[in-house]
Structure 1
Amino acid sequence: MKYKFQEIDIAHYRDLAGQKQKAHKKFLAGLAKKPPKNLDRIAQVVHDDVFNRIDCTLCANCCKTLGPLWTEADIERVAKHLRMKLTDFEAAYLRIDEDGDKVFQTMPCPFLGADNLCSIYEVRPKACREFPHTDRKKIYQINHLTIKNTLTCPAAYEFVEELSEKIK
C-alpha cells in the first residue's frame, strides 16, 4: 500500500530516538542473543513498509549531516561519471579523516541539490546506496549502527519501532 508522503520533522525524530535509545538497544540486543528464525523476512517486510511511508527526498538528513566513506571503486565510478581525473576529483571533494578513510571535505554533500535530490544518484557511493542498512540480512549484526542511524534517519527510527512491534 502506498501512503501519502508528509513533511518530515527531523528534530522531532531525533528527540524520539534519543528518548528510545535505551529501549531500542535492549530490543536489538535481544535479537542478537536469540534471533527469530524468520528475522530476515520480517525485517525486509518492515523495511519495505517503512520506505513506502517515508520519502527520503523530504528529509535528506543523511546527505546533509553524514558523509559516506568513499571506496576506491566509488571514487573511480563517480569521477568517470563526472569526467574528472581521479586526482582532481579527490582534490575537489575528498579528504582523509582521522581513521584514514576518504570522506567529503565539507557537508552537506556537494552533490545534493536544493530539491534534496542527488545529482549522482545512479553512481552514488556504496555507503549511500545501502544507508540506513535496514534491508540487510542478519540486521542484529549491526546493532550499533542501527541505533546510531535512528538519531539521524527517521526511516531507521520507524524501522526499529515497527520491528519491535512485530517481534515481541
Structure 2
Amino acid sequence: MDNKKENSSFDLNSNWQKQSAAHQKQYKQFLQRADKNKVLKKLPDLHEEAFEKIDCLQCAACCKNYSPRFKTPDIKRISKHFKMRESEFIDTYLRLDEDGDYVVKQSPCPFLGSDNYCSIYEVRPSDCERYPYTNEDVILKRPNLTLKNSTFCPAVYYVLEKLLNN
C-alpha cells in the first residue's frame, strides 16, 4: 500500500463505532425524512468515496458476525462450485433462520479465511455481492437494516455521515 492511500484511508481504529452509536437517532430521522431522489443521486459517488478509504479486508465484521441469506440461485451456484449436491451443501453449511431464510450455521462465515479473504468470492451469495447496499435504494427502503449496518460497517457509517453533513 502506498503512503498516499494510507494517509487518505478511513481509520478503522478511530472511534467511528462510538460515533455511529451516538448518531443512531439522527440517522433514523434522516432516513425517514430524506429526499429519496437527492439521496439516490449522491449514493454512487459516496459509495465509491467510502471504498477508496475503507479496506474491507482490514475489517470483515460483516463476515465475522452476520450471515447473508442464501437464496436458491446462490445455493445452486455455490453447491455446483463445490461439486456437491444442493442438499449436501445445505446440510453442511446452512440452517433456516427465524424468517425462513437459509443462513450459515456458524459465525464467522465458514468461507472467510484468516486473511479476511472469501474463499467463494467469485460465486458468493448475492447478498454479499450487494453488501453494504450503500449504492442502492436499500439504504432508504430498509432503514432498520441500514441502522444496524451502520454500527458494524464503517462504509455505512461513512456514507450516512456524509449524507447527514451535506
TM over 0.5: yes
Aligned length: 161
Aligned to 1:25: 28
Quote the Cα distance in structure 1 between the aligned partners of 2:10 and 2:44. 23
Partner of 1:9 in structure 2?
Answer: 13
> How much does 1:83 deviate?
1.1
Q: What CA distance in whole angstroms lies between the structure 2 residues aligned with 1:118 and 1:101? A: 21
**Residue 82 in structure 1 maps to residue 86 in structure 2:** no
1:14-54 CA distances to partner (integer Å, 9 max, x unpaired)? 322111101111122120xxx16443221111111011100
- Check whether the contact 2:111–2:118 (CA below 8 A) recurs between aligned residues: yes
TM-score, normalised with respect to structure 2:
0.89
* Cα contact 2:70–2:103 (8 A) shared by 1: yes
Q: What is residue 156 of structure 1 aligned with on the other side? A: 156
Paired position in structure 1 for 2:145 = 145
- Distance in 1 between residues matched to 2:121 and 2:115, nearest whole Å: 13
Alignment of 1:56-71 (within 5 A): 56-71=56-71
SS of the aligned residue for 1:3 comes to: helix
Gaps of 5+ in 1: none
Structure 1 residue 100: deviation in Å?
1.3
Q: CA deviation at 1:138?
A: 6.9
TM-score, length basis structure 1: 0.88
Aligned to 2:93: 93
**More divergent stretch after superposition (156-165 vs 132-141):** 132-141
Q: Distance in 2 between matches of 1:42 and 1:61?
A: 25
Sequence identity (%):
39
Where does the alignment leave 5 or more consecutive residues of structure 2 unmatched? none
**1:99–1:36 distance in 2 versus 1, CA, 3 Å:** closer
Q: SS at 2:95's partner residue?
A: strand
In 2, the alpha carbon distance for the partners of 1:100 and 1:89 equals: 17
Answer whether contact 1:146 1:156 (CA < 8 A) is retained.
Answer: yes
Distance in 2 separating the partners of 1:57 and 1:85? 31
1:51-107 per-residue CA deviation (whole Å, 9 max, x = no partner) reads 110011100000000111110100010111111111111111001112211111111
Displacement of 1:154 in angstroms is 0.9
Given that 1:40 and 1:139 are in contact with CA atoms closer than 8 Å, whether structure 2 keeps it comes out as: no
- Indicate yes or no: 2:55 matched with 1:55: yes
Partner SS for 1:95: strand
